Every structure is written in C-alpha cells, then in structure tokens.
Structure 1
Amino acid sequence: MKPQLLVLHGLTEGHRAQLAQTLDLIYAPTPAERAAAVAEHGARVQIVLTIGATGLTAAEMDAMPQLSLVCALGAGYENIDVAHAQQRGVVVATGAGTNEDCVADHAMGLLLAAVRGIVHHDRLTRDGVWRDVLPLPPNVSGRRLGLLGLGGIGRKIARRAEGFDIEIGYHNRSPRRDVAYRYFDQLRDLAEWADFLVVATPGGPATRHLVNAEVLQALGPRGTLVNIARGSVVDTAALAAALREGRLGAAGLDVYESEPRPPAELIGLPNVVLTPHVAGWSPEAVQRSVDQFVANVEGHLAGRGPVAPV
C-alpha cells in the first residue's frame, strides 16, 4: 500500500504523475481544498508537501495522527511549525539547494533592470521618447554589492556579481571562514558601504523588517535594493517613502509583504521593478525540487533520513 501524501502547493500534471508512482496523492493546492482534505483525509496522511509561504500549522499536524514527514518544496520553511513537528516526532525537510542558480540568476536580472532602468526605458521607448532627454543610467560593473545573508543563494549571487567586477561585502549572524569577502557585523554599516544591497536571508520573525528606514537611509539616494528572499525582511512602507522622496535610488523586488497581492505603495513608482515571486521558478529548478522531495521521502521511509533535513 502506498504512503498517503497530501500536497498543499500547485504542481503540474507531470509532477503529480511522478509522485503518484510511489505515493497515494491527495492534491489540495487552494485554501478551501486544503481545509477539506485535512478534515476528510487527515487521519491517514503520512507525508505533507508544502512550501515555506504556505506552511503547515500545529493544528493541522494534530489532525494527522500518522504524519511522520513534512517537506517544503523550496528552501524556505518559515510557516511550517517546526517546533511543534519536533515535539510530535515529525521530521521536517526542504528543497534546499535545488533552485539556488535560478534565484541567483533572477537577482542579477533585477539588479541590472533596476540600476539601468530597463523596464522604465522600455515603456518610454514605446511612447516615442528618445535617449537625448533622459538621464544617463549608471554602471552596474565596478561597484559594491552588499549581501544580507551568505548562504547557498547568497554565494551564488556573489559569484555572478564577481563577473561584473563588483566588490562583495556581506552581513551574516557570524563571519564565514571559507570566503574572502568583507564581513560587516552591522547591517547598517554594510548598507552605508554598498551601492547595492541584495536580501538573501531566510524569512520569519527573526528577520522581520531587518531592512528598515535606517538601513535604507544608509544605502542612500544612489543605492539600489534587491529582494529575492522574503517580503517580510523589508519594511515596505519605509521602502516606498525612501523611493518617493529620493532617499533611495531604485529597487528590484520579487517578494512583498502583501503577497499574493502586489505592493500597492510601490506600483506607481518608475524606479521599482516588480516580479511575482518567480525567482526560484524555472522548469529545471522545479524538477530538481520535486526530485529532491522524492529523495527526502525515500530516505525517510528507508530509515536513512531525508537528504535535506531541517
């Protein structure tokens, strides 16, 4: 008999078919379907597949007495109640590492688009505006990039930035011994040093509004903020005010506090580039994530443990 899997995030038919080869799949990607599935099938669910933003609550876990494994499809797991899972003896695992290249690519794309004004210039060009009446957009190359977080994704971004002859600095909870990048023990000091600040740190209460008005002020009117991590890390109201008042140069955001609704405070600003939380999404990255979920399940059921435990 196949183990019972509850899926709480959207998957393609092909990926659902891949999982159905070894698992009895209940597919509930919407809130209404999720509530109904937990109520109807919770008693026999053994494995849950979710994402960090969707998560899994303590109450939902308690409605699943046979639950033994919860997996996040991506690297984030901020809304999975890990402490309660551990109390229950439920293993939590992730898709860490599967979409790092994709996210790093997107971060550089947002940085280039924001600094060079690519989206704004595209719109002006379609309206017949020529370059003679436009201010010159600055270089990206040869400048300073500060990374808030130097985990797997942060390091991939740094490697790409090095290709643009960009100097790298970073802020972590503690310095890394395996890199030569400049370490800043205070985020404000990093922002003051940097031309560009890229947010690549996990979400959750510990990092909420780390990028606040003070940090944005330190980044300054020629600075650019890029966020491909979690919307909660950036104070949206402070960011909107800094951009409107010319105290920050530009921003490129893939994530927002208002998700899935767009950030209303930023919509009308020409110096902002917005994408709908797709930095980690590509056919290649999603396939790697699904494959790693399968590996997590296989390791867990075989007694070896998942390949990417929390």
Structure 2
Amino acid sequence: MKEFEVLVTGRMMPLVMEQLESRFTLHKLQEAADRDAFLAEVGPRIKAVATGGHVRTDGALLSRLPNVGIVANFGVGYDSVDAGWAGQHGVVVTNTPDVLTEEVADTCLGLLLMTVRELSASERYLRAGRWEKDGPYPLTHNTLRGKTVGILALGRIGKAIATRCEAFGLTVVYHGRSEQKGVPYRYYPTLVGMAQASDILISVAPGGQDTFHIIDAEVLRALGPKGVLINIGRGTVVDEGALINALQNKVIAGAGLDVFEKEPHVPPELIAMDHVVLLPHVGSASHHTRNLMGQLVVDNIVSFLSGKGPITPVAETPWPPKR
C-alpha cells in the first residue's frame, strides 16, 4: 500500500508513526518549513490524514487536499476536526471510541472522590508536616453518601460513569439532547433543571459550538452552595470565568477538572484554590489505553485505503455515505 500517501498534521505517538511509515508514504506537516509550498506540492497526492486535538483540521486545510478520503482523529472528541465540512465534501472522519471508555470513567470516579473528600488537600496537609504539627486534617463537609449525580451527556463514557456511580450507592440522573430509550435513569430536559436536582454535576459533553459554555453562571447557581462540578469531557463546555466566580464566592462547594478551556493554560485563580482538584487532561492517559487509541487510528486508515471502509466513522460522516 506504499502507493498511498498519508499526511500527519502534528505530533503522534511512535506506534502510529511507525505503522503508518511502514505501510504508506508519510508526510509530516509539522516539519514543513513553508506550509503553503508543502501543501501545494504534496496536497493533491494525500489520500488520508492522521490528526489529533492539538491541530485544527478545518476546511481551509482539507481544501488543500482535494483527493483526501479519510481524516482519522486520535481521541473520542473530534471538535478540532471540521466534520461538517468533511461530510459535505465526501470525506469520512473517524475517532477512537470505546477503547478509552473504561479508563476515562475510572479517572472520573477518582477525580470525584478526590474532590468531594478533599483527598488532594489532605495529602498536601500531610506532606507539609501539618498532621504531626497541627493534628488531624479537619473533617470534610462533603460526602458521597445519599447524593444524586447528574451526568451531562450519557454516551458510552457517561454510561460507564453512571454504572460506577451506582456501585457507590449514588442516584444517577442525566441530561442530553434527547431522552434515551431503555435507560434506567431519570431524564431532565434542561441542564438547569438537572443541576437543581443534583448534588454533583459531571460533564462528559464534547466540545464544539453546540456545547460552548453551556455550563454557565445560571447552571452553577442551580447546582448550589453544596454542589460539586466534575468535568472530564471538554474544557470549552464550562464558562471558566463564571466557574472561578462561583468558586470564589461559594456559589458551589468545589470542582474537579481534568480539562480546561485553553489547554495547557490553567487560570491561576483555579490553581490558587484548595477546594479545586486539577488534573492535566489525563483521563485516558495510560500506555495501555493510548496504545489502543493509536492502533485504532492506524486501523481506520488501513481499512479505508484497502477498500473496506472506515471502522469508527463519526455521526456527521456516516458510512456508507447517505445519498
């Protein structure tokens, strides 16, 4: 299959690079000294693109690749790819669902426990020598006992989180674009309504224009002064300015965040707060899971270019294409 030429838009894990280089003629956009000249030369020959959230793969880029057939995205979220443009121009977009579901759900429950039980703060207390000097860490005001968790976006990962929450004895409710059949959890048609009914709001929502800042000041007020926000989905879903204000003024009790609006930048106001747990976007960050994700990127490209079609096309670019 060396007759096919593939473009990589940015840094990719060795597993992906090695396999693509062994099968195809590989071009690395990030190494081009003159991007425009590079695309003018190789663009018409590109049949597939491997990309990730670190690079915007939009219509402006894809239009320089008139013969591209597939964009394989590393990650379940693909808001950095203009899937709408791709669908309108006959280009299929794939992502990496399922293989990271359990890892992200595990991370979410760890983040939830760290936030509600102040485990990060209590560890810092111990490491600072305060246990011996000042006595036991103060009793935490919050607990998981008797709480209701509201999940925003009950997809694959949301359902895996819900299952784990049930095992912890939590009541689960959810909000999404529509009510799902066969789901044993109560559905709330509005996010504000679900926030009012929840003690803990967990966001698994993807990024993009449709979800931008949907967790805003009104939602945080509805969550209330004992409420906790956990975001394991995309940082752009939360209005960070409103969140900082809510945390500083005790509109909500705390937050656990694995994602941020302008990664890798984290607002210093969040870093300064003890009642906030911050992780550097590590939801799926194990060798085991990232290798599975990388392999799925490769497998999607190989399957498509061999004429078998994509393995995991996204909703905007179904396969076979709708006529």
1:246 maps to amino acid: K
In structure 2, what is the Cα distance between the partners aligned to 1:299 and 1:305?
6
In structure 2, what is the Cα distance between the partners aligned to 1:142 and 1:195?
9
SS of the aligned residue for 1:92 comes to: strand
Alpha-carbon deviations, 1:162-205, whole Å to 9, x = none? 11111100001111112111111111111111111000111101
How far apart are 1:33 and its partner, in Å? Answer: 8.7
Q: Provide the residue aligned with 1:60 in structure 2.
A: 61
SS of the aligned residue for 1:21 comes to: helix
SS of the aligned residue for 1:273 comes to: strand
Q: TM-score, normalised by structure 1?
A: 0.93
Instruction: Give 1:248's match in structure 2, choosing from 236, 242, 252.
Output: 252
Distance 1:31 1:170, change over 3 A: farther
Q: Provide the residue aligned with 2:77 in structure 1.
A: 76
How far apart are 1:40 and its partner, in Å? Answer: 5.1
How far apart are 1:247 and its partner, in Å? Answer: 1.2
Distance 1:29 1:164, change over 3 A: farther
Q: Provide the residue aligned with 2:167 in structure 1.
A: 163
Instruction: Give 1:227's match in structure 2, choosing from 227, 231, 250.
Output: 231
Q: TM-score, normalised by structure 2?
A: 0.89
Alpha-carbon deviations, 1:112-144, whole Å to 9, x = none? 111111111111112222354624243224421
In structure 2, what is the Cα distance between the partners aligned to 1:269 and 1:251?
10
In structure 2, what is the Cα distance between the partners aligned to 1:278 and 1:31?
30
In structure 2, what is the Cα distance between the partners aligned to 1:115 and 1:46?
48
Q: Provide the residue aligned with 2:265 in structure 1.
A: 261
2:302 maps to amino acid: E
Matched, 1:177 2:181: yes
Equivalent residues in 2 for 1:8-23, closer than 5 Å: 8-23=9-24
More RCO (CA 8 Å, sep 6+): 2
Distance 1:163 1:37, change over 3 A: farther
In structure 2, what is the Cα distance between the partners aligned to 1:265 and 1:32?
38
Asked if structure 1 preserves the Cα contact closer than 8 Å seen for 2:7 and 2:28, the reply is yes
Instruction: Report how many residues are paired.
Output: 310
Q: Provide the residue aligned with 1:118 in structure 2.
A: 119
How far apart are 1:149 and its partner, in Å? Answer: 0.5
How far apart are 1:269 and its partner, in Å? Answer: 0.8
Alpha-carbon deviations, 1:266-296, whole Å to 9, x = none? 1111111111112122112111112222221
How far apart are 1:32 and its partner, in Å? Answer: 7.3
SS of the aligned residue for 1:269 comes to: coil
SS of the aligned residue for 1:97 comes to: coil
After superposition, the CA RMSD in angstroms is 2.1
